[in-house]
Structure 1
Amino acid sequence: MYLEHLNLFVPNLEDVLKFYRTAFPHWRIRDEGHGEWYGKPRKWVHFGDDHQYLAFSAPGEGTNRNLKSNNVGLAHFAYVTNNIEAVITRLTDAGFEIAKSGATEPFRKNVYFIDPAGFEVEFVEYLSDIPAERNLNQETQ
């Protein structure tokens, strides 16, 4: 079993797609269209590869969860990469700022960005294939 997709409402599709196209240059728009969501028109896009994707719908209403609060809602989602420095370079060169650096751990590197819709996205590179090392959290030791 694996996670196939997340479905996210966003304020602006093009702004969000710029971020994710930069992070995932090998992904593509798999499908797109227009429809109605609870009585309101929306445009939707499935952006990903043959195995997983992000479903974006716009226009979303309201504001995203305050990430510095304990309010109920999505805190962040994460993607594993084999080259975190390349992801960081692509995103910062495109004008996206690092929201926070990850924890200092011997077997992984991670970093967080906030996408244009206000979702926190973590990118992580594992430096070990051993699960006990990959999942080690020295902060809680």
Structure 2
Amino acid sequence: MYLEHVNLVVNNIEDMIKFYQAVFPHWSIRSEGRGTWHGKPRRWVHFGDDTQYIAMSDHGEGENRDLAGHQLGLAHFAYVTQNLDAVVKRLQQVGFKIDKQGGDNPFRKNVYFIDPAGFEVEFVEYLSDIPSERNNDL
């Protein structure tokens, strides 16, 4: 079993694609369309590859949850990469900045970015194949 997609309600799909295209240069729009969601018009896009994607709908209103707060909701989601430095460089080249660095750990390195819709996204590169090391709390 694997995670196929997440479905995010956003206010600007093009800004989101700019962010995620930098992360996943091989991804593209798999499908898209228009419709309504409970009476409100929306555009939707599935952006990804043949295995996984991010579904985005542009009918979002207001702001995402306060990431420093205690509201219910999504805290962050994470992607594993084999080359964290390359992901960071691509994101910085298109104007995104690291929101926070991960902790100092001999078995992984990670960073957090905030995407254009306000979702926190972690990128992690594991430096060990041993689960107990990868998941330690150093």
Indicate whether the TM-score tops 0.5. Answer: yes
Cα offset, 1:107, TM superposition: 0.6
- 5+ residue gaps, structure 1, are none
Q: 1:110 and 1:102 mapped to 2: Cα distance? A: 5
| Superposition CA RMSD, Å | 0.7
* Corresponding residue number in structure 2 for 1:67: 67
1:21 maps to: 21
Q: Which residue of 1 aligns with 2:92?
A: 92
Counterparts of 2:28 and 2:129, CA distance in 1: 29
Counterpart-to-counterpart distance in 2, 1:129 and 1:28:
30
Measure the CA separation in 1 of the matches of 2:93 and 2:83. 16
Return the offset for 1:121: 0.4
Distance 2:14 2:59 in 1: 11
Report how far residue 35 of structure 1 moved: 1.1
Looking at structure 2, the residues matched to 103 and 6 of structure 1 have their Cα atoms a distance apart, in angstroms, of 26
User: What aligned pairs does 1:6-85 form with structure 2 within 5 A after superposition?
Assistant: 6-85=6-85
Give the secondary-structure state (helix, strand or coil) at the position aligned to 2:90.
helix
> What is the aligned partner in structure 2 of residue 121 from structure 1?
121
The residue type equivalent to 1:22 in the other structure is: A
By how many angstroms is 1:59 displaced? Answer: 2.8
Query: Which residue in the other structure is 1:108 paired with?
Result: 108
Q: Quote the Cα distance in structure 2 between the aligned partners of 1:91 and 1:56.
A: 19
* Count of residue correspondences: 138
Partners of 1:6 and 1:49 in 2: how far apart? 13
Q: CA deviation at 1:39?
A: 1.1
Identity of matched residues, %:
67
TM, length-normalised to structure 1: 0.96
The alignment status of 1:131 with 2:117, answered yes or no, reads no
Could you list the structure 1 runs, at least 4 aligned residues long, displaced by more than 4 angstroms after superposition: none
